[in-house]
């Protein structure tokens, strides 16, 4: 890995204030617990068309849990994901590029330097490039590439706030890269929304979902949870899928860890998570289509029963 010589880099280290152990603050060093049910997904905020200069864009957010546990510390106990995605294209390939009968898709996933507790560099590191490859695989399966010969399309994702890899109290070595799994799932969803916003033809809306096999309460037994927050669990295996609900297809699957017998169940739960995130995706896309018409309330209550199990007319 080459060093970043073009900038004066900040010292490697944390972006959050340091935490010190105090006897009178036992809560501080207690692992946060999952308050949701195992098959409950976190709430999502998704909006398209946030970057006017891009062909398409979307913003994805998982707000922190409403009743923030008051530990008296400045350190947030749980992360809140924030991802922006911009799509540039389809646009003509550079003059010197070879002929391509299909749309050339390129994906960039980059964490902002302050996105995670451990500071990120300005140059994409291996894990970010890896996420980019996964994302490309997921999107390649939905885009109807042969409608755009000799064109290119760039999907640029910036993770403004990333999922934690594990509970910070365990030390940074313990983090097994589980946060990446959730981030990938959300990258897929947000990229799908941005692609629709850009008006790129897709066979379906692709949505990402994660499920994890975690150790049960007290370290006994194992349970499958949807949409895991790695800080809350001791994860043994996790699975990400990019799922097309209308076609019942999976364009991308990434399994990590040893799930043993419950591999199938893990996958099913991941698909289920994808189906759940798709509901938000559909609503966001519909909302984006209504630009110019009556304005949707910013944080209007979602209309019950609308868009469930219905196909979306992709007139992005």
Considering only residues 126 to 145 of the shown chain, the ones binding another protein according to CB under 8 A are 144
Contacting range for another protein; rule: CB under 8 A; set: 133-141, 178-186, 211-219, 243-251: 243-251
CB 168, min distance to another protein, A? 21
What does DSSP assign to residue 32? P
User: Restricting to residues 166-225, which ones interact with another protein according to CB under 8 A?
Assistant: 198-201, 203-204
* 156, β-bridge pairs: 86, 108
CB 76, min distance to another protein, A? 12
Among residues 111, 148, 168, 178, the one that binds another protein under rule CB under 8 A = 148
- The strand order across the sheet containing 104-111 reads 56-61, 82-92, 151-161, 104-111
Which of 148, 166 has the CB closer to another protein? 148
CB 33, min distance to another protein, A? 20
Which of 44, 193 has the CB closer to another protein? 44
Per-position x/- string for 7-46, each x denoting binding to another protein as judged by CB under 8 A, each - no binding? ---------------------------------xxxxxxx
Q: Are 183 and 135 in contact (CB under 8 A)?
A: no
Q: Which residues, in sequence order, are CB contacts of 29 under 8 Å at separation 6+? A: 19, 21, 169
Contacting range for another protein; rule: CB under 8 A; set: 11-19, 127-135, 182-190, 282-290: 282-290
Backbone angles phi, psi at 33, to 5 degrees: -110, 155
User: Restricting to residues 47-106, which ones interact with another protein according to CB under 8 A?
Assistant: 47, 49-50, 52, 55-56, 59, 61-64, 80, 82, 87, 89-91
The number of angstroms, rounded, from the C-alpha of 65 to the middle of its chain's C-alpha atoms is: 17
Count of residues that interact with another protein, criterion CB under 8 A? 71
CB 167, min distance to another protein, A? 23
Residue position matching structure tokens 């997921």? 138
Contacting range for another protein; rule: CB under 8 A; set: 5-13, 130-138, 182-190, 300-308: 300-308
The 8 Å CB, 24+ separation contacts for 24-32 are 25/71, 25/72, 25/73, 27/69, 27/71, 27/72, 28/71, 28/72, 28/73, 28/75, 29/169, 30/169, 31/167, 31/169, 31/231, 31/232, 32/69, 32/77, 32/78, 32/167, 32/229, 32/231, 32/232
């Amino acid at each position: 890995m080459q060093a970043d010589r073009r900038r004066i880099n900040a010292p490697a280290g944390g972006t959050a204030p340091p935490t010190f152990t105090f006897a009178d603050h036992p809560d501080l060093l207690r692992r946060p617990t999952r308050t949701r049910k195992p098959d409950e997904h976190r709430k999502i905020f998704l909006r398209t068309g946030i970057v006017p200069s891009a062909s398409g864009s979307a913003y994805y957010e998982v707000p922190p849990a409403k009743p923030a546990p008051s530990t008296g510390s400045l350190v947030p106990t749980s992360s809140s994901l924030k991802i922006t995605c911009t799509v540039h294209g389809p646009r003509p390939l550079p003059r010197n590029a070879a002929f391509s009968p299909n749309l050339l898709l390129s994906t960039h996933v980059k964490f902002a330097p302050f996105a995670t507790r451990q500071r990120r560099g300005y140059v994409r590191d291996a894990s970010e490039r890896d996420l980019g490859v996964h994302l490309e695989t997921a999107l390649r399966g939905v885009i109807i590439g042969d409608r755009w010969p000799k064109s290119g399309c760039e999907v640029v994702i910036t993770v403004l706030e990333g999922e934690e890899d594990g509970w910070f109290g365990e030390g940074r070595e313990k983090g097994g890269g589980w946060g990446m799994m959730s981030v990938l799932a959300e990258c897929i969803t947000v990229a799908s929304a941005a692609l629709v916003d850009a008006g790129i033809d897709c066979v379906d809306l692709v949505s990402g979902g994660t499920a994890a096999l975690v150790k049960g309460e007290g370290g006994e037994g194992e349970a499958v949870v949807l949409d895991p927050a790695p800080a809350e669990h001791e994860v043994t295996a996790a699975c990400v899928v990019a799922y097309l609900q209308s076609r019942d297809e999976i364009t991308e699957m990434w399994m990590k860890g040893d799930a043993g017998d419950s591999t199938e169940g893990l996958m099913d739960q991941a698909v289920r998570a994808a189906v759940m995130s798709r509901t938000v995706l559909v609503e966001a896309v519909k909302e984006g289509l209504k630009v110019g018409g009556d304005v949707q309330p910013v944080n209007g209550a979602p209309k019950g029963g609308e868009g469930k199990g219905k196909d979306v007319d992709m007139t992005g």
